[in-house]
Each structure stands twice: as structure tokens, then as C-alpha cells.
Structure 1
Amino acid sequence: MVVIVFALLAAAIVVAIALITVGRITGEFVDAAPTSIYDLDEAVEFVAERIPEEATAQLTFDEVRSMLTWHLEYLEERGVARRQGVNDLAAGPLVAAEDDALAHVLGRASEAGLELDDVWVVQVLDADTAYLEAIGAIGPQVPMPPDPSGPDPEPSPS
């Protein structure tokens, strides 16, 4: 009789530990941001379909692929993107300036010996940003906080 009670008590403890563990892990998944996977082949097609005909007539798929790779490289350097399997999350908001991304891509194109029109690069980066939004990798723009060194707000009338 004592053995049966002890066995039931041990089973109840094991079930309780399992339920607590599953609940904790489930809670962590709920709090975690969903992961968006950037598929380069899909992104090349997405971008090629959205840039103007003048650009698609001049750019090859390899050039578009290179620009997208360099854009991702820039985003990774800024901490905005990360490689698959890397789960380091930033402590605060991350910002990647569009002008800096353009400069990075143009610089890398120059290093590679590609002569790309600045307008084409802007169109490709804009379409890539649309792809990032479509896959959920970019959220809505966060409003800038008020400038702490700015003028004091007007007191409200009492």
C-alpha cells in the first residue's frame, strides 16, 4: 500500500515538473519575436518584378543578387539583420539609415568593378525594403522621441 502511494506521489511530481517546464518554454515562445527568413532567390524575383523597366533592361539578375547581398551585409553590420541560427537580440531599437545603405552598396559595387547607376541602386534597395516588409522582417516606423535639449513644453492652462 505504501509503495503504491509513493509511486503515485512520484508520478504526480514528475507530471507537475513537466507541466511547469512546458508552460515556461511556451511562455518564452510567446514573448519571442517571430523570425523572418530572408530567401535570396525569392528576394531577387520580388525585386526584379518591382523595379522599373528601364532598370530591369540594364541590370542582370546577378547584379541584383549582388546588390541585395551587399544590402544584407550592411544590415547585418548595423545589427538589424542576423544570420540564421544566431539568436542575439538587441536591447533597444535598431536604426539603419537609407543613405548609409546606399553608400555601402555603391562602395561595394565600385570595389567589384560594377558600374551601377545610383538611381537603379535606390530602386533595388526600395524594392528590397518592400520585400523585408512583406516577409515581416521590418515593422512600422517608430516615432522619434522628443529632443531633450529642445524648448520646454508650454504649461497647460489651469
Structure 2
Amino acid sequence: MVLIAVVAVAALAFVIAAAVIGREAAKLGSTPKMPVYRLEEAVEFVSEELPFEYAAVLSPDDVRRMLRWHINGLQFDRPVAGTAEPGDPETAGDVPVVVAEENLVVGVHRRAVDAGVPVGLDAVEAVLEIHLEYLRLIGAIDRAA
């Protein structure tokens, strides 16, 4: 009789555990994956996609610095007027935050020139456009951006 009770309790524990694990697995399966930004992966992607005339003068270290400046600009620059303020609880999730890309290109170019990177405005624009494509590819920004 004791053996039957032990087997019944073990079976009940197994059923409860299977139900809980199944529910959590289903919940995790339906949650979209968060994009993970890897700087070295981004540098490699941009360096490979960069047109030859720019790749010939830009080292991976130059590209890495420009990508850091660009991602910092995307993260910390003020949004364009008329869009949501980052962290504003009233508009959170309602209105997309838009950053003026032209300002970022000029800002990254200025920082690159100040750092002694031999780069023109057109090269910076190419690097940042490819960087945006990488961000779209990993799902960090919307396709419309």
C-alpha cells in the first residue's frame, strides 16, 4: 500500500512539473528574441560591405571608432522635434523616437576628423548606412528606419 502511495505521489509530482515546464517553454517560445549588438560583429559586417574606395583607406579600428560614435549618437542624441522623448512615460511605446541621421553623419565626421581619421563625409555616410543595415538585420531598429 505504501508503495502505491509513493508511486502515485511521484506520478503527480511528475505531471505537475511537466505542466509547469511546458507552460514556461511555451511562454519563452512566444516571446520575441531581444537583439544583441556585438561591436566586433558590426565592424566585420561593415568592413566587408564597405565599397572598395572607402575600405582601402579605413582600417577596422577606424570603422570601430565610427560605429561607437554612431551607436552613441543613436542612443543619446535628442530626438527630432515632434517625436517622443526617450523615457517619457506618457508617450512610451506610442510614438517612435526619430533621430536626424544627417546630424549623426556630420557629428561622426567631425569626431573622426578631430581624431585624425582620414575620412570624407561621403565615406562616413557609407559606413553609417551599412551600420544601419546591420542594425536592421539583427532587429535592433525598424525596417522603415
TM range (shorter): 0.5 to 0.7
Partner of 1:41: 40
Partner of 2:132: 129
User: Is the partner of 2:45 in helix, strand or coil?
Assistant: helix
> Contact (CA 8 Å) 1:75, 1:96: kept in 2 or not?
no
C-alpha separation in 2, matches of 1:110 and 1:121 = 11
> Contact (CA 8 Å) 1:68, 1:125: kept in 2 or not?
yes
**Would the alpha carbon gap of residues 17 and 73 (structure 1) be closer, same or farther in structure 2, given more than 3 Å must change?**
farther
Partner of 1:52: 51
Percent sequence identity is: 36
Indicate yes or no: 2:5 matched with 1:9.
Answer: no
Higher helix share: 2
Indicate yes or no: 2:62 matched with 1:63.
Answer: yes
User: Is the partner of 2:56 in helix, strand or coil?
Assistant: helix
**Would the alpha carbon gap of residues 108 and 12 (structure 1) be closer, same or farther in structure 2, given more than 3 Å must change?**
farther
Partner of 2:97: 95
* TM-score normalised per structure 2: 0.66
Partner of 1:25: 24
C-alpha separation in 1, matches of 2:37 and 2:69 = 14
What is the root-mean-square deviation in Å for CA atoms of aligned residues? 3.0
C-alpha separation in 1, matches of 2:23 and 2:32 = 16
User: Is the partner of 1:58 in helix, strand or coil?
Assistant: coil
* TM-score normalised per structure 1: 0.62
Aligned residues: 129
Q: 1:65 Cα shift?
A: 0.8
One-letter code aligned to 1:121: V
Unaligned regions of 5+ residues in structure 1, if any? 79-90, 143-158
